[in-house]
Amino acid sequence: MNYQKTFDDPLKLTKLALLLSGINVIDKNISKAARLAIDSLFFFNLAWLYMDVIAEFFWLLDGLRIGKSFDELSIIAPCTTICLLSSAKSTALYCKGNILKATVKKFKEINEDIDRDIIKKSVKTLHNVILIMKCSSVVVVLVFCSLPLLSMAYDVYNYGETVKKLPFLVKYFFNPFTEMMWPLVYFHQIWSN
């Protein structure tokens, strides 16, 4: 059994997710152009995220101004908090990427020096944990992102009409509910959050 391959398998999805976020944890040396592209992706994703965080803040201010209930206003707080926490964590990973790479490299070295039975058990446990995380993350993302669409379908089925809805309650400086803008804003909210 190739233990190094077994050690790297659970990390593939994590590396891909981080790379899509603009965080490079790949051990190999990459070109300056690739590094620039990955760095640009990080800042693009961060800007997209904060566009929604700021829009959520304006929605909250507008809700306070027009007298929305505490229940309505508190709906947005968890979303904004999660966005702020995730950006703080991803920024730390981006800034300290070399430490993360060194840690993974050290684990690979340790992997070569320890008992193979321990490795088998540990890697199996790691595979199971990552599988559970993958499944739960996919379910949460799918449900959260499709809930407005399901709600719109329910309205059409029961009332014959609906209003366009978005996953996050935000107030943009433009109308996101036009025929042209709504699909773009919907995609934007799913990607950025």
pTM value surpassing 0.85: no
For 28-67, the pLDDT digits (tens) are 678 888 888 888 989 988 888 888 888 888 888 888 888 8
DSSP letters, 35-97, are: HHHHHHHHHHHHHHHHHHHHHHHHHHHHHHHHT--HHHHHTHHHHHHHHHHHHHHHHHHHHTH
- Positive or negative, the CA dihedral 159, 161, 165, 171 is negative
Q: With bands split at pLDDT 50, 70 and 90, how would you rate the model's confidence at 144?
A: confident
For 64-118, the pLDDT digits (tens) are 888 888 887 787 777 778 778 888 888 888 888 778 778 777 777 776 666 566 6
Query: Across all residues in the chain, what is the average pLDDT?
Result: 81
Quick one: which of 58, 82, 78 has its CA closest to 174? 58
Its domain, for residue 153, covers 3-192
**Coil/strand/helix, residue 165:** coil
Q: How many domains does the chain have?
A: 1
